[in-house]
Amino acid sequence: MKEKKYTLISIAAVAIFLIIWQICAAMNPGGMLPTPVAVVKAFFLKFTDKNPDGATMLVHLGASLKVALSGYLIGLLIGIPLGICMAWYKKFDWFARPLFDLIRPVPGIAWIPLMIILFGIGLLSKSMVIFISSFTACVINSYSGIKQTESVHLWVGQIYGASNTTQLFKIAIPTALPMIMTGMKAALGTSWGALIAAELLASTKGLGFMIQQSRGLMRVDIIIAGMAMIGIVGALLGVLLNLLEKLVLRGGRW
């Protein structure tokens, strides 16, 4: 009963906000704030309308997703094993850690200009930026995940004659999986942000390109529609990862 009341309050808050927005925006037409109705209209119109930036919303979305997912997957494929190796093999850690610590404090976004000069403005340069952004989060999280393994568990393994590799795969990696999943989620967030930054700076399609073009044309309604799309897709990808996490972890039963 009480929960229902709070849900109603939430709905009322959003409704009041939208009404105030509508009134404010309707009072000064031609201003930098379109009405929420106009935004919703622009959002749905953009699915079929190529104006003003040359492609429909879905084409932009597809371009963005291609770049983001390719960079992100490479980041996972290299970052997670690297983090695991660094945590498990001490000697490897001694060599790899100083190099990793060199690039770690640099935000992935800062590499954009260099990548554009080296690889042009196509898929490769943007995927590289996203790769770097997701890579660091994956390495750090899988590293600390492996380090969480309790010595007692490893001793049990040793007593029963498990080899070093068996201990790694049967004890340490299962322990680390929740942390690895956390790293994957963090990496997704940063890479989605880095993608938008890369597209704002230099690209010919993609959601970031769309809002950048609309800025030049003062089409605030399309900007907000694009931001909504970015938010929705980012949230959806997060939901997918959560599902994957449930599937993989299954309540820690291994």
Confirm or reject binding of residue 103 to another protein (CB under 8 A): yes
Among 77, 231, 246, 248, binds another protein (CB under 8 A): 231
Q: Cα separation of 253 and 140, whole Å?
A: 24
Q: Smallest distance from the beta carbon of 151 to another protein, in angstroms?
A: 6
In angstroms, the Cα distances linking 234 to 17, 89, 94 are 24, 35, 36
Confirm or reject binding of residue 192 to another protein (CB under 8 A): yes
Which of 244, 250 has the CB closer to another protein? Answer: 244
Q: Smallest distance from the beta carbon of 117 to another protein, in angstroms?
A: 6
Stretch of 46-54, 72-80, 216-224, 240-248 contacting another protein, by CB under 8 A:
216-224
Cβ atoms 225, 43 nearer than 8 A: yes
Omega of the bond leading into 52 within 30 degrees of 0 (cis): yes
Could you tell me how many residues of this chain bind another protein (CB under 8 A)? 60
Structure tokens of 45? 């119109």
Residue 171 DSSP symbol = I
Confirm or reject binding of residue 165 to another protein (CB under 8 A): no
Cβ atoms 123, 70 nearer than 8 A: yes
Which amino acid is present at 56? Answer: T
Which of 178, 193 has the CB closer to another protein? Answer: 193
Structure tokens of 84? 């695991």
Which of 139, 253 has the CB closer to another protein? Answer: 139
- C-alpha R_g of the chain: 23
Among 77, 235, 240, 244, binds another protein (CB under 8 A): 235
106 by DSSP, 3-state: which?
A: coil
Q: Cα separation of 146 and 86, whole Å?
A: 9
Residue 108 DSSP symbol = G
Which of 62, 193 has the CB closer to another protein? Answer: 193
Length of the chain: 254
Confirm or reject binding of residue 214 to another protein (CB under 8 A): yes
Q: Cα separation of 43 and 241, whole Å?
A: 26
What is the enclosing helix (H) or strand (E) of 53?
A: none
Confirm or reject binding of residue 223 to another protein (CB under 8 A): yes
Confirm or reject binding of residue 189 to another protein (CB under 8 A): yes
Q: Cα separation of 77 and 72, whole Å?
A: 9
Among 77, 232, 240, 243, binds another protein (CB under 8 A): 232
Among 62, 107, 174, 178, binds another protein (CB under 8 A): 107
Q: What residues make contact with another protein under the rule CB under 8 A?
A: 6-7, 9-10, 13-14, 17, 32, 90-91, 94-99, 102-103, 105-114, 116-118, 147, 149, 151, 154, 189, 192-193, 196-197, 200-201, 208, 211-212, 214-215, 218, 220, 223-224, 226-228, 230-232, 234-235, 238
